[in-house]
A = this chain, B = another copy of it.
Amino acid sequence: MYGEVSELIEIGRLLHSRGWLPASGGNLSARVENDRVLITASGTHKGHLTREDFVTVDLEGKLLEGSKRPSAETLLHLVVYRNFPRVMSVLHVHSVNSTLISRLAKEDLKLENYELLKAFEGIKTHDTSIKVPVFENAQDMKTLSRLVEKRLVKGDLYGFLLKSHGLYTWGSSIREAYIRLEAFEFLFECELKLALRG
């Protein structure tokens, strides 16, 4: 099996221990050879993954390997892989911070003036801002993924939020996606504390 499996198992354990993958929420994926995508199966607990909890699909979502059902949200991962050839990993988490900041957001979330913005590649100064699109949550993944795709192709995105649901982010390696995730979660925690104050 792919080496990425053990890396994703460890990332799952880590993210769960921080409370970002509660219950059976979230899903983790990596692009492997021949544009296959390795992704956690539906309904698994991401804090206690085993090799059997992964499946492989092609870029259109056709099941190639594995006995379990791919997550329904696989389509959202694939939209990212298809549009960004350099992306090698997509991570989707349900943290309290991403759930609430997206729930409170009236429009795109703006992150501004934080030094930690420099964790996003291409950003060299705190004296800037990035926008994180907040999509209405939906269960129709085909419609939602088309909506996301329209926005992705405009570029300049580091991740997106689904309302009352969570964050999608990605990177050119599993490690880079994880670092970006840490940056987002940190910034969401900051923004949420400010948003909830009296």
Digit string of A76-106 for contact with B (CB within 8 Å is 1, else 0)? 0000000000000000001010011001000
The residue on B at minimum CB distance from A181 is B23
* A99–chain B nearest beta-carbon distance, Å: 6
Complex Cα distance, B1 from A30, in Å, reads 36
Residue of B nearest to A119 (CB): B23
Q: How far is the CA of A23 from the CA of B117 in the complex (A)?
A: 10
* Distance between Cα atoms of A179 and B114 in the complex (Å): 26
Given contacts A23-B183, A115-B137, 20 further A-B contacts (CB under 8 A): A22-B182, A23-B116, A23-B180, A25-B115, A25-B116, A25-B183, A94-B186, A96-B189, A96-B190, A99-B115, A99-B116, A99-B186, A100-B190, A100-B194, A124-B139, A126-B139, A127-B137, A192-B193, A195-B197, A196-B196
